C-alpha cells in the first residue's frame, strides 16, 4: 500500500494521530474478540465459581444441539427470504424509475426514506399492522378468510420479521440498482431493440447480465444485513418465538449470554459468527477486486 | 429506436405510485394511530383517517412518557439519542480523519500493522462479540454513561478507508507547495486537507448520524438507568413492558418522533446521503 511520494518526517506524530483509533480498536474490538475466543474454550459451573478448560467441547456441543442447528436453519431461511424479497422489489422499482425522465428524482425521494428507520422500529410498525386483535392487515386477511396469528404460528412469525426486515432494506437496494441501471449504455439497449428484441428479451439478455456486479454486491451486503443488523427486528417483536421459530443466530448469542448466562456457549457462538463475518468480508473484497475487469 | 408506448409509461407510473404508497403505508398507519384516543383500536377496526387527539397524545409522550411502564419522557430520550448520535458521528469523523492522515502522509514503522488492525474492526460487529464487549465496558465503569454509549462505537474502518482513498487523490503538488511555503503537518491538515474533504465529511456525517441514532442493541445492554435511555430502545420497553396490550396510540406517537429526525436528515440532504451511501460501501 503506497503513501504519497513526498511525506512528512516526524518521529512520533503519526503514532499520536493513530492512537485514538488504535486504542479504541484494541480495547473494544480486539480484546473482546480474543476474550470470546478464550472463553469459548472454557466452561463455567452454574454459579460461576469454577472455570475449567474444555477445549473444543463447547463447539462440539453446539453442533449437536438441536436448538442451535434449528437457529442456523432459521437464520438461513430468514436471510435468504429477506434478501430475495427486498432485492426483487427494489429491482422492480429501480427498472421503472430508470425509465422516467422528469419524475425520477421525485420517486427516488419517496423510496429512499425508509433507510432512516431503525430495524427495531420497522419491526414494531409491522408488528402493529399485523397485530392479531387490532392490526389493520390482519383484519384485512381475516375478512378474506385467512386467520393470521404471528403469536402462535411459526410461519406467520417468520413472514412478519422477513417483511419488516426487507421493507427497511428496500431503499438501500433501490439506490444501488438505480445507479447500476444508469451506468448501462443506452446504445446497447437501442441496438438490441433495432435487432428486434422486445421489452422482456432486452431485460433478460442485456440489462440483467450487465447488472450482475451490482446484484452480487447487494447479495452479500443483504445477507450480512439480514444476519447481523436485524437484531432489533427480532428483539422488539417476536423475541425469537413462537417456539424458536425466529430465533436467529445473533439473537441466540444475546439470549444465551445475557439471559441464559451460558458464557462458554455464547462465546463459542460469537466465534462462529465472527468466522461467518470474516468469510463474507473476504467474499465481498474479492468481488471488489474483480469488479475492475467488468 | 426503443419503442415508446404511452400505455407502458402509464402502467409504470401506476405501479410506482402503488409501490410508493405501499412503502409509506406502515408509517401512515403509525401516524393515524398516533392521532386517536386510547380506546379506538380495541373495537377491531383500525381507523384510516386522522383522529383529533394529535396534540394530546404527542404532548403526553413528550412531557410525561409512560412512567408507570418504566420509560422516561420522550423529550429526554430524544435528547439522549441526539447526544449519542452526535458523539458517535463526530467521534468517528475525528478518529478516522486523523488515522487516514497518518497512514497517507507519513512513513513510519508498523504502518501496515496499524492498517490491518483498523481493517479488522470491519469483521467484528458489536452483535457478534456482545458479551465480552459488555464485560470490558463494565470493567471500565462505563455503564450508564454517554462515554459508554458512544466511545466503543467510534472506531470506523469504512470511514478511514474512505478518507484514505480521498487523500490519495489529492494532488502531490498540494503538499509540495505547502512544504515550500513552510507549512507543518498540522497546518497542512487544517488549511488544505480539511477544506478539500468537506463534501466527503458531510456525506459521511449523514450516514453516521443515522447509524448512531438507530443504535439499538448497544444502548439496550449498557443502560439500566432510565435517564440514559435512547428513543429507539425506549420503544421496545414501551411495547413489551407490562402484561396488558401496549398503549398503541402513545407507542405510535413515539415511533413517529423517533423516526422523524433521521428521515428529515435524509430528505433534506438526499444528495449527500446517496453519495455517502454509495461511497462507504464500495
Burial class (CB in 10 A: 0-12, 13-18, 19+), B159: buried
Phi, psi torsion values for B86, nearest 5 degrees? -70, -40
- The pLDDT, as a whole number, for residue A81 is 96
- Cross-chain residue pair B132–A39, CB shorter than 8 Å: yes
**How far B54 CA lies from chain A's nearest CA (Å)?**
18
Q: Quickly state the pLDDT bin for B259 (edges 50, 70, 90).
A: very high
Average pLDDT over chain A reads: 87
Distance between CA atoms of B227 and B72, rounded to whole angstroms?
A: 7
Question: What span, in angstroms and rounded, lies between the C-alpha atoms of B10 and A158?
Answer: 36
Cα separation, A155 vs A170, in Å, equals 22
Residue B198: predicted pLDDT: 92
Interchain contact, A228 vs B127, CB within 8 Å: yes
Q: Of A120-124, A175-179, B120-124, where does mean pLDDT reach its minimum?
A: B120-124
DSSP-assigned beta bridge partners for residue A8: B106
Ramachandran assignment for B242, one of left (phi > 0), alpha (psi -120 to 50 degrees), beta (any other): left
Contact B263 A112 (CB under 8 A): no
pLDDT of residue B115: 86
Superfamily of domain covering B78-240+257-280: MetI-like (1.10.3720.10)
Q: At A292, is the pLDDT very low, low, confident or very high (cuts 50, 70, 90)? A: very low
Residue with cell 383484519: A139
Per-residue model confidence (pLDDT) at position B75: 85
Check CB contact under 8 Å for A170 and B23. yes
Q: What is the pLDDT of residue A84?
A: 96
Interface-testing mutation among B6, B9, B12, B26, with chain A (most A C-beta atoms within 10 A)? B26
DSSP string for B185-207: HHHHIIIIIHHHTHHHHHHHHHH
Q: Which of A3, A14, A15 to mutate to probe the B interface, most B CBs <10 Å?
A: A14
Comparing alpha-carbon positions, the chain A residue that sits nearest to B214 is A118
Quick check: B4 pLDDT over 80? no
Asked whether the beta carbons of residue B124 and residue A29 sit closer than 8 angstroms, the reply is yes
pLDDT at A170 over 80: yes
Q: What average pLDDT does range A74-85 have in this prediction? A: 96
DSSP helix/strand/coil, B70: coil
Please write the tens of the pLDDT for every residue from B124-165: 777 778 888 888 899 998 888 898 889 988 888 888 988 998
pLDDT recorded at residue A48:
64
In the stretch 52-91 of chain B, residues with CB closer than 8 A to chain A read none
The answer for residues whose C-beta is within 8 angstroms of residue A242's C-beta and 6 or more apart is A150, A151, A152, A153, A154, A157
pLDDT of B38: 74
Contact residues for B229 (Cβ-Cβ < 8 A; gap 6+): B71, B72, B76, B77, B80, B219, B223, B237
Q: Given CB atoms, is B31 within the 8 Å cutoff of chain A?
A: no
> In the prediction, which pLDDT does A150 show?
83
Q: What average pLDDT does this structure show over B203-207? A: 91
Reported confidence tier of residue A47, pLDDT bands at 50, 70, 90: low
Of residues B45 and B111, the one with the higher pLDDT is B111
Q: Which of B99, B155, B267 sits opposite A113 (nearest CB)?
A: B267
Which residue does chain A place closest to B259, by CA atoms?
A: A117
CB pairs under 8 A between A and B: 297
pLDDT tier, A290 (very low <50, low <70, confident <90, very high otherwise): low
Q: A53 or B90, which is more confident?
A: B90
The grid coordinates of residue A283 equal: 467474499
* DSSP 8-state symbol, B106: B
Greatest alpha-carbon pair distance for chain B in Å reads 78
Question: In 3D, which of B161, B199, B197, B196 has the Cα closest to residue B275?
Answer: B199
Output DSSP code: residue B37.
-
Residue A30 burial (CB count, 10 A): 16
Report the pLDDT averaged over residues A275-294.
Answer: 70
> Please, is B130 exposed, middle or buried when counting C-beta atoms within 10 Å of its C-beta (0-12, 13-18, 19+)?
buried
Among A116-120, A262-266, B98-102, the minimum mean pLDDT is found in A262-266
Query: Which of A94-103, A110-119, B52-61 is predicted with the least confidence, judged by mean pLDDT?
Result: B52-61
More confident residue, A227 or B45: A227
A179 burial (CB, 10 Å; 0-12 / 13-18 / 19+) is middle
Q: What is the pLDDT of residue B43?
A: 60
Cell 409522550 locates to: B61
Residues of A in contact with B179 (CB under 8 A): 6
Residue with cell 386522522: B50
Eight-class DSSP state of A249 = H
C-alpha cell at B232: 429507539
Q: Is B113 within 8 Å of chain A by CB?
A: no
Q: Could B106 and A14 be called an inter-chain contact, meaning their C-beta atoms sit closer than 8 Å?
A: yes
Buried b (16+ CB within 10 A) or exposed e, A245-275: bbbbbbbbbbbbbbeeebbbbbbbbbbbbbe
Chain A residues close to B105, C-beta within 8 Å: 3-4, 7-8
What's the confidence (pLDDT) of residue B224?
84
Nearest of A149, A80, A156, A161 to residue A119 by alpha carbon = A161
Residue B88's closest CA among A230, A278, A24, A254? A24
B187 touching chain A per CB within 8 A:
no
Minimum distance, in Å, between the CA of residue A35 and any CA atom of chain B: 6
- Residues 6 or more apart whose CB falls under 8 angstroms from that of B151 comprise A24, A28, B91, B142
> What's the mean per-residue pLDDT of chain B?
85
A18 contact residues in B (CB cutoff 8 A):
98-99, 102-103, 114
Q: Is the pLDDT of residue A293 over 50?
A: no
Predicted-complex ipTM score: 0.88
Which pLDDT value is given to residue B2?
66
Pick among A15, A30, A48, A113 to test the B interface (most B CBs inside 10 A): A113
DSSP designation for A255: I
Confidence band of B42 (pLDDT split at 50, 70, 90):
low
Which residues lie closer than 8 Å to B187 by C-beta, 6 or more apart? Answer: B178
Contact A264, A39 (CB under 8 A): yes
Average pLDDT for residues A233-261, to the nearest whole number? Answer: 87
Q: Which domains does chain A have, with CATH numbers?
A: 13-53 (no CATH), 67-291 (1.10.3720.10)
pLDDT for residue B69: 57
Please tell me the distance in Å from A239's CA to the nearest CA on chain B.
10
| Cell reading at A214 | 451490482
Tell me the sheet residues that pair with A51. A44
Please compute Rg for chain A using Cα positions. Answer: 24
How confident is the model over B93-105, as pLDDT tens digits?
999 999 999 999 9
CA distances from A270 to A30, A250, B101 (A): 13, 8, 33
> What is the spatial distance between Cα A113 and Cα B178, in angstroms, rounded to a whole number?
42
3-state secondary structure at position B238 = helix
Is the CB of B96 inside 8 Å of chain A's CB atoms?
yes
Amino acid at each position: 500500500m503506497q503513501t504519497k511520494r513526498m511525506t512528512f518526517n516526524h518521529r512520533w506524530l503519526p503514532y499520536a494521530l493513530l492512537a485514538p483509533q488504535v486504542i479504541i480498536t484494541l480495547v473494544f474490538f480486539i480484546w473482546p474478540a480474543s476474550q470470546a475466543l478464550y472463553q469459548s474454550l472454557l466452561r463455567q459451573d452454574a454459579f460461576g465459581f469454577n472455570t475449567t478448560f474444555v477445549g473444543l467441547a463447547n463447539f462440539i456441543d453446539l453442533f449437536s444441539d438441536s436448538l442451535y442447528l434449528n437457529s442456523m436453519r432459521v437464520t438461513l431461511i430468514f436471510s435468504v427470504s429477506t434478501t430475495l424479497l427486498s432485492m426483487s422489489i427494489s429491482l422492480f422499482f429501480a427498472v421503472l424509475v430508470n425509465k422516467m425522465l422528469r419524475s425520477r428524482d421525485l420517486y427516488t425521494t419517496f423510496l429512499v426514506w425508509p433507510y432512516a428507520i431503525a430495524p427495531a422500529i420497522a419491526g414494531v410498525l409491522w408488528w402493529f399492522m399485523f397485530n392479531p386483535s387490532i392490526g389493520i392487515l390482519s383484519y384485512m386477511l381475516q375478512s378474506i378468510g385467512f386467520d393470521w396469528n404471528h403469536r402462535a404460528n411459526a410461519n406467520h412469525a417468520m413472514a412478519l420479521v422477513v417483511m419488516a426486515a426487507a421493507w427497511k432494506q428496500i431503499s438501500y437496494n433501490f439506490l444501488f440498482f438505480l445507479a447500476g441501471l444508469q451506468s448501462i449504455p443506452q446504445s446497447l439497449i437501442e441496438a438490441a431493440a433495432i435487432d428486434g428484441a422486445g421489452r422482456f428479451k432486452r431485460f433478460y439478455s442485456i440489462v440483467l447480465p450487465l447488472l450482475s456486479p451490482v446484484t452480487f454486491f447487494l447479495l452479500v451486503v443483504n445477507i450480512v444485513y439480514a444476519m447481523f443488523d436485524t437484531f432489533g427486528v427480532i428483539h422488539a417483536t417476536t423475541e425469537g418465538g413462537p417456539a424458536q421459530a425466529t430465533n436467529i443466530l445473533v439473537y441466540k448469542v444475546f439470549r444465551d449470554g445475557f439471559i441464559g448466562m451460558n458464557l462458554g456457549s455464547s462465546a463459542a457462538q460469537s466465534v462462529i459468527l465472527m468466522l461467518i463475518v470474516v468469510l463474507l468480508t473476504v467474499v465481498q473484497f474479492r468481488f471488489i477486486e474483480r469488479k475492475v475487469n467488468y | 429506436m426503443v419503442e415508446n408506448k404511452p400505455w407502458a409509461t402509464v402502467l409504470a407510473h401506476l405501479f410506482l405510485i402503488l409501490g410508493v404508497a405501499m412503502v409509506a403505508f406502515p408509517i401512515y398507519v403509525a401516524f393515524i394511530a398516533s392521532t386517536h384516543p386510547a380506546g379506538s383500536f380495541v373495537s377491531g377496526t383500525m381507523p384510516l383517517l386522522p383522529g383529533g387527539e394529535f396534540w394530546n397524545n404527542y404532548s403526553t409522550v413528550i412531557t410525561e412518557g409512560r412512567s408507570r411502564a418504566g420509560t422516561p419522557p420522550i423529550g429526554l430520550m430524544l435528547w439522549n439519542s441526539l447526544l449519542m448520535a452526535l458523539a458517535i458521528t463526530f467521534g468517528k469523523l475525528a478518529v478516522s480523519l486523523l488515522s487516514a492522515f497518518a497512514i497517507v502522509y507519513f512513513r513510519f514503522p508498523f504502518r501496515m500493522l496499524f492498517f490491518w488492525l483498523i481493517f479488522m474492526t470491519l469483521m467484528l460487529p458489536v452483535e457478534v462479540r456482545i458479551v465480552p464487549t459488555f464485560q470490558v465496558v463494565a470493567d471500565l465503569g462505563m455503564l450508564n454513561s454517554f462515554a459508554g454509549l458512544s466511545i466503543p462505537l467510534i472506531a470506523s474502518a469504512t470511514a478511514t478507508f474512505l478518507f484514505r482513498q480521498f487523500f490519495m487523490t489529492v494532488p502531490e503538488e498540494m503538499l509540495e507547495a505547502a512544504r515550500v511555503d513552510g507549512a507543518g503537518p498540522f497546518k497542512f491538515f487544517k488549511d488544505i486537507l480539511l477544506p478539500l474533504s468537506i463534501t466527503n465529511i458531510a456525506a459521511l456525517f449523514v450516514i453516521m448520524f443515522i447509524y448512531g441514532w438507530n443504535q439499538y442493541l448497544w444502548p439496550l445492554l449498557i443502560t439500566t438507568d432510565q435517564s440514559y435511555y435512547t428513543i429507539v430502545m425506549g420503544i421496545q420497553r414501551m411495547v413489551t413492558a407490562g402484561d396488558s396490550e401496549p398503549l398503541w396510540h402513545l407507542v405510535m406517537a413515539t415511533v413517529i418522533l423517533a423516526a422523524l429526525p433521521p428521515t428529515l436528515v435524509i430528505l433534506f440532504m438526499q444528495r449527500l446521503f446517496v453519495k455517502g451511501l454509495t461511497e462507504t460501501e464500495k
